[in-house]
Amino acid sequence: MPEILLLNGTVYWGRVIRIGLYYIMKLMKGAGHCLGTCDKRYYLGREVAKPGDHLVITGLLGGFPGAHLLIKGEDVYGRSDRESLLNILTDPTARINEGRYMEETRVATASCDLSDGLADALSHFCKDTIGITIDEASLPMRPLAREAAAKTLCKLHKLAFGAGDWAVAFTVPDKGMKLLQRGKYEGLRLSSIGQFNESGQKLIKRLDGTVERAPEFVNEQFVKRLEDERNYFELFY
């Protein structure tokens, strides 16, 4: 197993080798920067959800892929406010207050950022017999995503599963939902969009009441990713 080294605030991993009387770490890669420490009792990893847990989202969905679609098709669909679209793509806003509230209440049992999409988060939360039914009506969509769906005729709920949104998904047991309701009254953007079960399936309940499989596309590096602006966008139709 690789060893971890913290040096001047930067985290590295590599393999320790022995040369004579000396031990030297053969660095494999710089992993990032250390901004602080946390009590491991409260660390939230990408753990598998339990039946009955709620899927809670901080922030709004669909803005990043929606902005891409509108910019790519502005000659066909009509020009939008290009500056606001570029602002969403280049100057995203982290949900700091929501994150702090989730940390302070200790109600969550797992978490996953949505930079690679909601489908990616569900792949971590749902394993073996654990499944979920997501309520499309509960998806916290950006108004811009609704505009993109109307103009491009892509499916709105699929934009919620796309990559790039600055939002975080949490699993929250039923007993913790009252505290989240209090947070919503305080103006925080917290949305419960579904509940985990033992079906082993990832489903979405559409607005018309029908149920279908949730999108499972992944922002796969060097294969099919949003940044390449090619075949990834075919997934939204």
Is the predicted pLDDT of residue 221 greater than 70, yes or no? no
**Ramachandran bin of 36, using left for φ above 0, alpha for ψ from -120 to 50, beta for the remaining angles:** left
Q: Is residue 199 within 8 Å of 37, Cβ to Cβ?
A: no
Would the CA dihedral through 218, 3, 108, 129 be positive or negative? positive
Give whichever of 28-32, 150-154, 212-216, 233-237 has the largest mean pLDDT: 212-216
In this structure, how many other beta carbons lie within 10 angstroms of the beta carbon of residue 213? 9
Going from N- to C-terminal start, the domains of the chain cover: 1-37, 39-236
Kindly report the average pLDDT of the chain as a whole number.
79
Which of the four pLDDT bands, split at 50, 70 and 90, describes residue 25?
very low
| 191-203 residue pLDDT tens | 999 999 999 999 9
What CA–CA distance (Å, rounded) separates 26 from 3?
10
What CA–CA distance (Å, rounded) separates 41 from 20?
40
Lowest-pLDDT range, 59-68, 122-131, 197-206, 211-220? 211-220
The CATH class, in words, for 39-236 is alpha beta
Length of the chain: 237
pLDDT given at position 220? 60
Is the predicted pLDDT of residue 21 greater than 80, yes or no? no
Q: What is the H or E stretch that residue 14 is in?
A: strand 10-19
* 140 token code pair: 């916290």
Determine the Cα angle at 101 with ends 95 and 102, to 5°. 90
115 or 208, higher pLDDT: 208
Which of the four pLDDT bands, split at 50, 70 and 90, describes residue 186?
confident
Q: What is the pTM of this model?
A: 0.78
What CA–CA distance (Å, rounded) separates 128 from 179?
30
